[in-house]
Amino acid sequence: MVSWFDESRLDDETVLAGADLRLRTLAESGARVRREAHEAAQVTADLVARDLPRPRAVIAAGPDSRLLRAVLEPWCPVPFVAWPNPGLPGWVGSLDLVVMLAPEGSDHGSASAVAEAVRRGAHVVVACPERSLVAEHAAGRDTTILPTVTGDQLATAVVVLDYLSHVDLCPGADAETVATALDEVATACSPHRDLAVNPAKMLAIAMADTNPVLWGGSVLAARAARRVAESVRRASGRSAIAGDAEHLLPLLEATRQRDVFEDPFAEESPELRPLLLILDDGSDDHVVREQAGILRAAAASRGVRVETISTQVDAEVARYASLLLTGTYAAEYLRIGLVED
């Protein structure tokens, strides 16, 4: 079947009502961050009050470890390792801190990793539901469970990062700041806001007949770009990709020039052209700005459209959350607008 994009669906109340559950889930992102922070507040305070010695190294274990790496790696004052694979590095021992995000608490690989950390005598901090498979395997003298209740990956990460910031292992990750940033995106991208002033709806229209190519310059913006690309692939079935500048540049340079005489209504639909989507978190790093300029110039030389998701939020994790939610809203509106013919 051939799919086409009907932008009128983005302001159709009946159509939007059919997607209410998914859109409501996005709108409640800030509330989930606040709830997780509230649930874990007392445990976090008790853990900080214990004034544990600084670990020899921090190991972020489990499938969500890459998010922690994006925040900690440039800042952490002790060696930091992200370990998304089952088990743990062979050198991990009693002098080390193992942290894990397990929002659902049902992953067998995560349960195995925390059990291995407990067996080796490492200090373990796990964010997971109190009654879950991971919590059962994490039981031990030097284990702390930061209770989670929403199953939200970002909200769970904020809880862990809040604890790590209190013990000077990462920059601040204030839950209220992150939640406020998410609320602002939910307001700007609300389904009840007309597409003419709705950045996510406008972005969905821009992506409608393209294969998006996503780039984020900073470590966290790049992480957000990968997550948004995943959402676009799920929403549209198209080959949206995210990568570093050196990987995306050849793709842009290989794009054929647009044929101004091409009939958009021909029976054989023209191939989908790329769209360069830049996630800009306001980084003033010279290399990031230079790479952005190179990508924009390459896109301009081949007639490739460029769109930008930007944020003016001050805090690092809040900027990541803002970029991620805006892109996810756009992917959802892309799903709503696509119609199979």
Domain positions in the chain: 3-19+191-340, 30-173
Least confident of 99-108, 123-132, 253-262, 272-281: 253-262
Query: CATH fold of 3-19+191-340, please?
Result: Rossmann fold (3.40.50)
Do domains 3-19+191-340 and 30-173 share one topology? The answer is yes
The CATH classification of domain 30-173, taken from the options 3.40.140.10, 3.90.105.20, 3.40.50.10490, 3.30.360.10: 3.40.50.10490
In angstroms, the Cα distances linking 285 to 213, 219, 288, 315 are 22, 11, 5, 16
The model's pLDDT over 198-251, given as tens digits with 9 standing for 90+, comes to 999 999 999 999 999 999 999 999 999 999 999 999 999 998 999 999 999 999
pLDDT in the model for residue 1: 52
Give me the percent of the chain exceeding a pLDDT of 90. Answer: 80
pLDDT in the model for residue 51: 87
Separation between Cα atoms, residue 36 and residue 156, nearest integer Å: 7
Mean pLDDT of the chain: 92
The model's pLDDT over 8-22, given as tens digits with 9 standing for 90+, comes to 999 999 999 999 999
**HSE value, Cβ hemisphere, 13 Å, CA-based, for 154:** 28
Q: Which of 172-176, 268-272, 305-309 has the highest mean pLDDT?
A: 305-309
Q: Is 64 helix (H, G, I), strand (E, B) or coil?
A: coil
Phi then psi for residue 275, to 5 deg, are -125, 125
pLDDT in the model for residue 118: 95
Global pTM?
0.92
Asked if residue 87 lies in contact with residue 94, where contact means CB atoms within 8 angstroms, the answer is no
The model's pLDDT over 265-291, given as tens digits with 9 standing for 90+, comes to 555 556 789 999 999 999 889 999 999
> Angle, to 10 degrees, between the axis of helix 65-72 and the axis of helix 316-337?
140
Q: Which of 83-87, 311-315, 332-336 has the highest mean pLDDT?
A: 332-336
pLDDT in the model for residue 73: 85
Least confident of 63-67, 87-91, 147-151, 288-292: 63-67
